[in-house]
Amino acid sequence: MPEGDAVWRTARRLHEALAGRVLLAADLRWPNLSTARLAGVGVDEVVPRGKHLLARFDNGWTLHSHLRMDGSWVVEPTATPPRRVAPRRSGGRPESRGGGFVRAVLVGPEWTAIGVDLGMLDLVRTDREHTLVGHLGPDLLDPGFDAGLAVTNLAAAEGTVGAALLDQSNLAGIGTIWASETLFAERVPPWTPVRDVPSERLARIVERARMLLTGSIQHPVPTSTGVRQPGRTTYVHGRSGRPCRRCGATVRVASIGAATRERPMFYCPGCQGGLGPTDDGRPIGPLGALRR
């Protein structure tokens, strides 16, 4: 799932392509939205909120989208004449693009934005955006980020510090990549109960997470190591079965979080306090597969 830095870059790309322009045509290929009329509507701005995208229009409405695991927004030059957005026949399959299904098309005078395999799509009054994103904690990439509130939210969470970082209601924008990299950098075992982490250490964790995300928003290849060559961009994430860059122990991956909400957490047992409780210790291959 794209994390906050990737969503931030997507929002910037959409904003540069559409903001300040009037839509020539639009097609929302989503239940209950297919009859929405956005042609002739001006785009005020496109902004990120954690892992969510908000396209605000000058008619007082907002198009909300979430990429989930496989979604993306593609921006391409508007065809001349502009791309014709034709109604689809009832029961017809959605248009395919690059192996995914087109869920939204926004046609501007210069650029067309195409939403592919979107995980969520909603059209709400702008003053009702809170019904969709009001549950989110402070956004790590918001210039007005409230670090104190983020620390308070984490301290009040139940369960492990790794799962608490991934809970978007505590702080928004962080996913498995930056949670793993943050906890490794701070030498914190991901399965440590939040109640056992002092508030000053939680503050350092939040500061580190924000530093990592803000350092990655300007480049399409995120890195925590400062190196963007394939296989060298992270310390632990995606490196199970390989030696830790810091201590040489074997990096491992194990599940974290409550049942039905488990996520993979990469970590170094040498730097982060030994095997996690959900890690059975069996040998792990370089791609995370267990060696049997």
List, by residue number, the catalytic residues.
2-3, 51, 263
Cα separation, 263 vs 254, in Å, equals: 8
- 36 vs 105: CA distance, rounded Å: 12
Structure tokens belonging to residue 26: 């639009």
Cα 68 from Cα 3, distance rounded (Å):
10
Q: For the CA atoms of 29, 128, 135, 33, what is the dihedral angle to 10 degrees? A: -10
Structure tokens at 58: 């000058």
Nearest C-alpha neighbor of 3 from the set 227, 179, 207, 206? 179
Tokens in use for 202?
């939680």
In sequence order, what are the beta bridge partners of 100?
97
Report d(CA 22, CA 42) in Å as an integer: 4
